Structure 1
């Protein structure tokens, strides 16, 4: 068989090009550190690597969301800490105001301090984050959630929703709490709160202490509300109101100043002192603290306390009774409000701890993804360098062969 010179040259050039291409490919792998430089190098591995890279990107997005969530929750926790300290300070002032040796001027001074706490808490309730959004307005975060009218009453105009962020593929975390749940709520099962009622023309001076829990397993405990109505200065009647609005009047009982009255079949007790004025509408209401009939607004509690402290009571037994009853009610309401704030704060702390756990899990997941992607496309340098050396020898051999083939011509023998 006759092999032409052209054929030999074409085969040699083709071999050189092939060896050069393989040598260059290995060089690119070493330079990039990747086994799969182009999808054509390993289509299946390249396709799987794309899916893993997408998973890594999603994980990174969740990581950014967790950073944002941590910032929001940390700001809320800081504000709630200030609010709890403010309520504790208000309780201390109420204990001071209950001292019977204080004069009207002294109580005016206490009222001024309470006004400072009141304004501080209102400012905290309308706190903003670094972007100017209000923390406690729910999704209505473009305006102050708590507004004060001309009479000094504060109302909540935000919504009851909690803003949420997806911190992981399977976890949507609340990153804020509505102001309604913090400042206008009490914990479930907070017990009972008593309030005194009478006409402004009445001159009764009945005061109460309590109510105290005797047996939480008594029928209707935590659900029923009670009203102690005075029929005259020596008799009273308890009216029980069930959750559905049904009322039941008890038997008429004799009243003696200083006596303890049991309510709800022995579930509660309350102690009354003083002389009632039945004509003036004297009555004592005992409502579940978490019920709709009870005050759960911490701003309303502080305002009523400030108002009563500013009212002169020296020499007026009726107003003195109003002062004592209001302080007793306010103290119980502030206790419940503080418990509620601390409960929300504990929830915020739990969410911050959860972020730490999710961060750790996410870090481990990211490492697993990166290892999987590395196994798919990254280069084994030991194998690549060996391959590089082999391709280099092959290229040099092809070049040497081409040089030798060039000399195989009859014209060289002439």
Structure 2
């Protein structure tokens, strides 16, 4: 085969360009720290990295859902603690009303104090979660779930609870119907007790003048009994919220482990082995230097340069 000067020149140019391109790619990999920059670099590794990235995004979404749920459960636990203290104050006022030396005016004063506690309890029941909804909204409502009407406090939310969009069940609200209006009655067969209904009944009885001692005694006994039932129900609901808070710690650990595993898998799929990359870059640089020297030698092999020499 006859090799002309032109052929040797073109071959040297092609080899030089190829070496330059390889050196540039090796330099880009060193700069980015990534072995796989595009899917064409390694389709299998690129697909693996994409799956790992999707798992990381899902773990981050689960973490945000967990934080939202934890915030609501903390608020619910605090709210039910506040309600428990208010019910204890109400219980003491009702017990005081049984004092035989009290006149109608004294019991009316106690009734007014109970009315103030009732208003505070209504405010607690309608506590905002800070995210545009309500802690005791059940399955969700855009307005306060408990409404005070002439017939008493009614629940305008949807019974149950709403859950965060997560791989694990994470509540974003508490069932207000069960917490505030659904306490099991102390007497078997009686209807469920409402926090507000019980207080309304006791307030009405204590504010009625002219009641006999036996009637007052019975009202006080029934009131204390029902308030105790309400407190027990609130305590159970508060314990459930506390248990959910404890469970979020385990859920958070699992989410963190899943995210770390996804990050590791992505790193293994696309990150660069720096020692190998530096060695490869040095080899490419040596090849490029050799190509430059070859090109410079080929340039001197033209007929004109030979004649003029």
Is the Cα contact below 8 Å between 2:66 and 2:170 reproduced in 1? no
Aligned to 1:176: 173
Matched, 1:162 2:181: no
1:389 to 1:344, Cα distance in 2 relative to 1, 3 A:
same
Mapping for residues 48-87 of structure 1, pairs under 5 Å? 48-87=48-87
SS in 1 for 2:209: coil
Whole-angstrom CA distance in 2 between matches of 1:321 and 1:349: 42
Matched, 1:297 2:194: yes
Whole-angstrom CA distance in 2 between matches of 1:348 and 1:87: 19
Aligned to 1:115: 115
Whole-angstrom CA distance in 2 between matches of 1:82 and 1:108: 25
Using structure 1 for the length normalisation, give the TM-score: 0.70
User: Residues 313-352 of structure 1, C-alpha deviation per residue, up to 9 Å, x if partnerless?
Assistant: 4xx6xx3212111211111111111111111111111212
More helix by share: 2
Whole-angstrom CA distance in 2 between matches of 1:17 and 1:388: 16
1:341 to 1:4, Cα distance in 2 relative to 1, 3 A:
same
Whole-angstrom CA distance in 2 between matches of 1:141 and 1:109: 36
Using structure 2 for the length normalisation, give the TM-score: 0.93
Matched, 1:355 2:252: no
Aligned to 2:261: 368
TM-superposed CA distance for 1:295, in Å, is 4.7
Aligned to 2:281: 388
Is the Cα contact below 8 Å between 1:135 and 1:141 reproduced in 2? no
TM-superposed CA distance for 1:140, in Å, is 4.7
1:179 to 1:413, Cα distance in 2 relative to 1, 3 A:
closer
The counterpart of 1:335, out of the listed 221, 224, 228, is 228
Q: Which has the higher contact order (CA 8 A, sep 6+)?
A: 2
Whole-angstrom CA distance in 1 between matches of 2:144 and 2:301: 95
Determine which structure has more spread, i.e. the larger CA radius of gyration.
1
User: Residues 340-370 of structure 1, C-alpha deviation per residue, up to 9 Å, x if partnerless?
Assistant: 1111111111212222221122112111111
Mapping for residues 38-57 of structure 1, pairs under 5 Å? 38-57=38-57
TM-superposed CA distance for 1:114, in Å, is 0.7
Structure 1 ranges of 4+ moved more than 6 A:
none
Whole-angstrom CA distance in 2 between matches of 1:362 and 1:142: 31
Q: How many residues align?
A: 307
CA RMSD between the two structures: 1.8
TM-superposed CA distance for 1:120, in Å, is 0.8
Aligned to 1:15: 15
SS in 2 for 1:139: coil
More strand by share: 1
Aligned to 2:136: 136
TM-superposed CA distance for 1:410, in Å, is 4.5
SS in 2 for 1:148: strand
SS in 1 for 2:112: helix
Is the Cα contact below 8 Å between 1:165 and 1:172 reproduced in 2? yes
TM-superposed CA distance for 1:132, in Å, is 3.8
Whole-angstrom CA distance in 1 between matches of 2:265 and 2:150: 65
Whole-angstrom CA distance in 1 between matches of 2:181 and 2:306: 111
User: Residues 227-246 of structure 1, C-alpha deviation per residue, up to 9 Å, x if partnerless?
Assistant: xxxxxxxxxxxxxxxxxxxx
User: Residues 169-215 of structure 1, C-alpha deviation per residue, up to 9 Å, x if partnerless?
Assistant: 2x12222122211111225xxxx73xxxxxxxxxxxxxxxxxxxxxx
Aligned to 2:105: 105
Is the Cα contact below 8 Å between 1:46 and 1:376 reproduced in 2? yes
SS in 1 for 2:165: strand
